[in-house]
C-alpha cells in the first residue's frame, strides 16, 4: 500500500483544545448550572440535573481514579467501574446540595489561559449576601473530548479534597474497596 493511500485512510487529527474552546466549555457548564439553579424544581431534581452536568462536562473516570489514589492500581476493572459510578453519584449529591446557596446568584466566566497541557478557566461567583469569589476550572482534552478535570473554589482544590476524603473513608474500611463502593452508594 502506498504512503498516499495509507495517509488517506488515516483519520485526521482532532482539533486541539484552545483557550476559546476551554472558555466555551465553561460557558456551557455555567449556563447549565444557572438554568438548574433558576428552575422551580425540588432539591432532589436539582441534584439529578447536577449529576447530568457533571457527567456531560467532566472527565469522571480521571477524577474518580485520582480520588481513589494509589488504591486505583489494585482495583479490578469491575471495582473501578463500580467505584467510578458510585463516586459520580456521591460527588453529585455532595456538591448538588450546595445549589441552594446559588439561588439568586450568578457565575461569570472571566478568562482562560494555557497551563502546561491544559487550560485554566477563571470564573467569578456572585452569591446573594456574600462577596464575590473565584471558581477556577481546569480543562483538558486528554480523554478525547474537552472536559474539566478539577475545580478550585476559593483556592480549595476539589481533586485533593476528594482524594483526602475518599482515602479516609477507605482507611476506615481497612482498604476494602467493595465496602467503600457500597458505602458511597448509601451516602445521601
Q: Convert the pLDDT of each residue in 123-181 to its tens digit.
A: 998 888 888 999 999 999 988 899 999 999 888 999 999 999 999 999 999 999 999 99
Q: How far is CA 132 from CA 37, 41, 105, 123, 126, in A?
A: 17, 25, 10, 10, 5
Chain centre to alpha carbon of residue 149: 5
CB-based contact 50:60 (threshold 8 Å)? no
End-to-end CA distance of the chain, in Å? Answer: 59
Q: Convert the pLDDT of each residue in 38-84 to its tens digit.
A: 888 888 888 889 899 999 999 999 999 999 999 999 999 999 999 99
CB-based contact 135:153 (threshold 8 Å)? yes
pLDDT at site 6: 36
Q: Which domains does the chain have, with CATH numbers?
A: 16-186 (3.10.450.710)
pLDDT at site 188: 57
Amino acid at each position: 500500500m502506498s504512503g498516499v493511500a495509507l495517509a488517506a485512510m488515516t483519520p485526521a487529527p482532532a482539533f486541539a483544545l484552545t483557550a476559546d474552546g476551554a472558555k466555551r466549555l465553561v460557558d456551557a457548564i455555567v449556563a447549565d448550572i444557572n438554568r438548574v439553579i433558576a428552575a422551580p424544581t425540588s432539591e432532589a431534581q436539582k441534584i439529578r440535573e447536577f449529576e447530568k452536568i457533571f457527567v456531560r462536562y467532566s472527565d469522571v473516570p480521571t477524577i474518580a481514579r485520582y480520588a481513589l489514589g494509589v488504591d486505583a492500581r489494585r482495583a479490578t476493572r469491575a471495582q473501578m467501574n463500580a467505584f467510578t459510578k458510585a463516586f459520580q453519584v456521591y460527588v453529585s449529591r455532595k456538591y448538588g446540595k450546595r445549589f441552594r446557596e446559588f439561588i439568586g446568584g450568578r457565575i461569570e466566566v472571566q478568562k482562560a489561559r494555557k497551563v502546561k497541557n491544559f487550560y485554566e478557566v477563571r470564573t467569578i461567583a456572585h452569591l446573594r449576601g456574600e462577596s464575590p469569589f473565584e471558581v477556577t476550572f481546569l480543562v483538558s482534552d486528554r480523554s478525547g473530548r474537552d472536559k474539566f478535570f478539577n475545580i478550585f473554589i476559593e483556592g480549595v482544590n476539589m481533586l485533593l479534597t476528594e482524594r483526602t476524603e475518599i482515602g479516609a473513608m477507605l482507611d476506615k474500611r481497612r482498604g476494602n474497596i467493595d465496602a467503600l463502593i457500597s458505602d458511597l452508594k448509601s451516602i445521601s
